[in-house]
Structure 1
């Protein structure tokens, strides 16, 4: 609440409950985190400068101090510094490509503006920010016989995206809140254990098959939106085992969400087991995969993606990560399953996007600020590969 419109938000790190303040901020500076940290991802969507992993911002900067933030160069200046307007590259969006360009979104306030852009749909609609806005733990709401209220609010949020982008697909990733994030919601500490490492803890599909009542609330919201907008699809995150995927799909089908011509089910590929057992995961029956390169990279390289000390080593272009990406795309293609990527990598490394197109990826999903640039990169890669013939 201390952050006013136009202020610069300085914090140790940000989490989903910071989002209202982040929307008021003119820029963000954090002590911790890498380029796939929460602050970095949200700031790109909001279109504001952000510097993460400074190590000492909260110690060196004080309330009321006038500073200027240069997100492109990673520098903070004392006082007001004149800025040069960024060149408009939206004309690049009009380039035609065979590979679809999707966008990663989470903020309902941005949906109309981004939907007006020349983009093929939403490749990643994050649930977490909508759940954070609801502000109460779903189990807590169920205990008060207010489960329908959770459904109403979530359906309203999802529906705004489906409506704005219709008939273009909107791929909604079911809620991937971790225990520490759930604990921040009203009533959360009553239902969530404190975990030493929430990133590897009780999250994703493991949670859906164990806490079915909460998952059913989310599925009810999806069904409600799909009554009016058939362009809403679903993507399951952090699937550790083949059995988890099968059991999650069984629950969805029992609730009336079954794969069909107008309802596609995708799976996030972000755990090394997904790569090793790709054929078995796909054989369960899914329509598409989307590579979550942020988590996949940290798990393959054994690096905390929020570590500023290891930020230089965290690189999706590492040979081990490239082998995983290539296998995921090529196996999917061989089995008639669409493939996409929704991590930060394509927004940062144009040369990686070229490789993805070469391997046969069917879509690339990027932050709003990279739609035009990505379209141009893909067009050049397709021309080189003669994919538009």
Structure 2
């Protein structure tokens, strides 16, 4: 079987790349070992973060570093046996998180973020999935004045620099919007221009079905079998394509390294669990507990509790200690009832040390392209990444300047 392009990886990024290429007349094969949206894209917090102009930085304050070093913080945990391997990545991550460097990164990163909601809404409309998007924003809640004031200053800065809209909520206004939250909260911030998703897996599935309705082909296969040419082994036989796109998220370096690329791709793992609300309690928005490092989101299956970051080897055994640590706190924030999942879900976020994705051509090989490294914003940036890759591959003018995301920066 021959195609114009084979896209490796059927998470949100790979599916969106495949859709945009197929829309432009390419005959595309989308290949993954699982059905679309069943890895990292399955378990995120469901946020399309228009406010996320500054990617998540490494903490630099001595107090924060000492707190994380004790490995008891609810928002960040690490496996000791992974730290030696992760050290070079973490060192570069720390350096790039210097305020001046972080601000420079935001100038490029914000060009992608600017289009995240509009590109999702356009793709969801084409895919008949608009009902999965909620245009009501999300809320960050506060327990202390110091954190509230610091976060409000950041929101004001983002508004000045990049037009990020937000609403400050005092305790009364927060209770009006979310009457079942803990009444001792001091207030919150609502990011009004962001969307949320009621079922991220269903959204990726809808985008994948739209890809197939356009004439694209999804195949179960082994992405690591990619050979120069570009050939890939699938359950339906070997396929060949004139070009290939690597969009394998945290496993992308397994293909790229075999082809001679040494890319500093790190992994942050995370967990989620669904709960039934107690009685008639209702959660109207995704809510981030700013001081405890977890998020509650209303989903089709129930209330999803998502954890912060776990630094570990990509395929190390699951250790959902963060979930166990924050669940009791989350139960005081909102009346959660019984668990709805048999076990905690675990996902892996693919991260680069400069906090920006790798999007563009792989210069050592003709017609090989990269689209990975989106860290916490894979769902947010899937459609805009898909459009950007497709525009570059077909020679169109690009929606944004793609040069800051090129692989050569490493």
TM-score scaled by length of structure 1: 0.25
Task: Compare the two structures and name the one with the higher helix fraction.
Answer: 1
Task: Compare the two structures and name the one with the higher strand fraction.
Answer: 2
Q: Which has the higher relative contact order, 1 or 2, with Cα contacts under 8 A spaced 6 or more apart?
A: 2
